[in-house]
Amino acid sequence: MSTVTPTNLLVRLIQLEDNAAIANVIRQVSAEFGLTADKGYTVADPNLDHLYETYNQPHSAYWVVELDGNVVGGGGVAPLSGGDGSVCELQKMYFLPSVRGQGLAKKLALQALDYGRSQHFSRCYLETTASLTQAIALYERLGFEHIDGPLGFTGHVDCEVTMLKSL
């Protein structure tokens, strides 16, 4: 595994020109974990190729991680679709293997939670799939608790793990 140093790593807000790169990261990581249509997963996400536009909205933010000028990961937060306005959702946290295990997911998740607090959300929700065991373990360490079922209207029909954290 490569070592990431501050000189070649950048975490920044998404820009329009990042859309294709981050969509590619999400597709690569999804395929790596078998989250593909041929395995029975619903992969049609109408926002995937337009994340800049999706997160360039009030109370929303998405950050990309660059390594040597290449987008290698990202994650964001936005109001929970169909929620009551007090809940945000941690969304689309994906990282290529080259930058895993170095604390970036934790750093980005904490940044997103801080942003959610700054936007006056009182709770943060997330959905994931049971095969992403390392992600679930991180969320548990960050204080997310498992809940019995989905909140809001996210459209993530394949995500059987639902979690919530007070902010």
The string of DSSP letters for 42-62 reads ----TTGGGHHHHHSSTT-EE
| Residue 157 banded pLDDT, cuts 50, 70, 90 | low
Q: What pLDDT, on the 0 to 100 scale, is given for residue 38?
A: 56
Strands (E), the chain: 9-13, 61-67, 70-79, 87-95, 123-128, 145-146, 161-166
Give the mean model confidence (pLDDT) for residues 47-76. Answer: 95
Q: What is the mean pLDDT of residues 122-127?
A: 97
Structure tokens belonging to residue 14:
């998404």
Cβ 80 vs Cβ 125: under 8 Å = yes
The residues that bridge with 10 in the sheet, in sequence order, are: 66
Query: Tell me, what's the pLDDT at 4?
Result: 47
Structure-token match 């998740």, residue found: 109
| Neighbour count for residue 35 (Cβ, 10 Å) | 20
Q: What is the pLDDT of residue 36?
A: 59
Q: Are strands 123-128 and 87-95 parallel, antiparallel or unpaired?
A: parallel
Residue range 113-130: average pLDDT?
96
Cβ neighbors of 61 (< 8 A, separation 6 or more) are 13, 55, 76, 77, 78, 112, 115
Residue 3: its pLDDT value, please? 46
| pLDDT score of 121 more than 70 | yes
Which CATH homologous superfamily contains domain 9-166? Gcn5-related N-acetyltransferase (GNAT) (3.40.630.30)
90-110 pLDDT per residue, tens? 999 999 999 998 899 999 999
